[in-house]
Structure 1
Amino acid sequence: MTHSMTAYATGTGTQAEFSWQWDLRGVNAKGLDLRLRVPDWIDGLEAQIRAALTKSLGRGSIHLTLRVTNEGSDQALELDQSALKSVLLALAEVETAAHDAMVSLAPTSAADVLGFRGVLEGGQQSQDTASLGKALIADLGPIIDAFCKMRAAEGVSLQLVLLDHLSQIETLSKKAAALAEARKDKTAVSVQRALDTVLQNGREVDPNRLAQELALLAIKADITEEIDRLAAHVKAARDLLAEDIPVGRRLDFLAQEFNREANTLCSKSSDTELTAVGLELKALIEQMREQIQNVE
């Protein structure tokens, strides 16, 4: 089954005075890139979340945000002066660098500053967070499951699109082969006319050299190997799409090979119809390659 790298999942939960909200989103990437925003006052939580995501996902740029609120806390919120100072200094440095580079930045609000990790402290830190951490990790499982199900559902649609592209490539390859076969007689007539012109001009022709040149012309005009390789690539791509493991990287490599054969076919073509088919192949392969970028 083909899996897409695009998906999202959300969820909420509660335990005693705590409530929380998950937000998990994914887009395509070359590898597995995990970007987490989770409370740092729950010991070991980020490491456990990272391990759970790594176990379930192979590729993608994954953004996970977890917001935890202590509804029962009667302690006032406090600013960590040290963290606040560090954030303000960093912002000033960024704004100076942007000004020097003549880059315009949006104004930073007080809410933005308070959103930085460690700036705003509440009463949660004084709580025993071990049981809360366990509840959060238990609640994460269904979130990841829902995320993977959406990836699979998106993958079904993506697989159908790719299979349709492969069928079109197969059809165009057969059309190119038929055109190449049909032009053989025409090519032979053209070569014979050129040869007759040379001989009529009274030029001496080395028979061995003539045979070599004719053989070279035949090789340059023959697209049999390209057609055969395109057929092999179509079969290989279909086999990959039937596998139940991440195949995006291999499909991406295969798309490059598809494009190589289409380029060679166009360069060998001396016929307008065959060139048109080759260009259509290239456009179709590029469309397929763009879709492949989202395959896990």
Structure 2
Amino acid sequence: MNGEELREALRSEMASTTPPPPLSTGATLGAARRAQLRRRGLWASLGSAAVVLAVAGFAAVGTPDGRVYQPAGHGPPVAPDASDTKEAWPTGPDGLPQEDRTARTGSKNDQGVHLLDQVVSVVPAGYTAPEDPASQPADKRTLRTHQAQFEDRVNGVDRWSYMSSVAVAQGKGTGRVIVEVHDAGNGLPTEPCALARGFWGMQGECEVETVGAAQVGVVVRPGSDDRLDQWSAYRHPDGVVVFVAQSAKLDESRSGLSKLPFSVPQLAALAVDERFHLK
């Protein structure tokens, strides 16, 4: 059974079960660690709904199809075993295969850093983008995080995704803006709302917004999975896909924003913004 078949089998199995109630921070992190040890690098399913894993903030994001995003840093590597992949992980700048899906150095990691800078640059007037202490290790940061992740190899070409998350604050409230970009050739849906509803497997009430000549799917109200409040999705003509999400709340330890940073038209425009069109 190859990786794609396994993911489909896991999705089918999880779709037939009743989703568990929301997990606590500690329980969620423990479950994610156990899943990681069981599958060691596979995009193991973490449940029928995406979960946010956090330790005093945003430490990692697990998606229903098993992708796990966490702040890029030099944490303990996950050693691949025979069930991980038939092909080696992408080659790093040292000429050796990566330890896992995350690029922690080199040009792919640089793309993640670049995306983070671009997300910070769009924080609207009236809001700030607080930073983690300079002494905070990269894998422990919660306010500004980034990751470059190997997704798949198609016809010998590596496909990557990049995610950056930025805390946004106003007054005593703190929320979050997330941007995720997928390389061309990603196999994600083309129809705007199908694309938007597929973000991390989350569903919701979707509208199609017109930005110039572009049609952008925007989920204006989430379904049962309400970790994020709104998100937009756009597929560029070259196949690169951009998701832009916002949430009025950063984590359970902080008060949330009184209103979201972006209006629906602004959120749609950001998905089309060339600053996030990584090539």
Structure showing greater radius of gyration is 1
Which structure features the higher share of strand residues? Answer: 2
Which structure features the higher share of helix residues? Answer: 1
Which has the bigger relative contact order, CA under 8 A and spacing at least 6? 1
TMscore range, shorter length: under 0.3
Scaled by the length of structure 2, the TM-score of the pair is 0.23
Scaled by the length of structure 1, the TM-score of the pair is 0.22
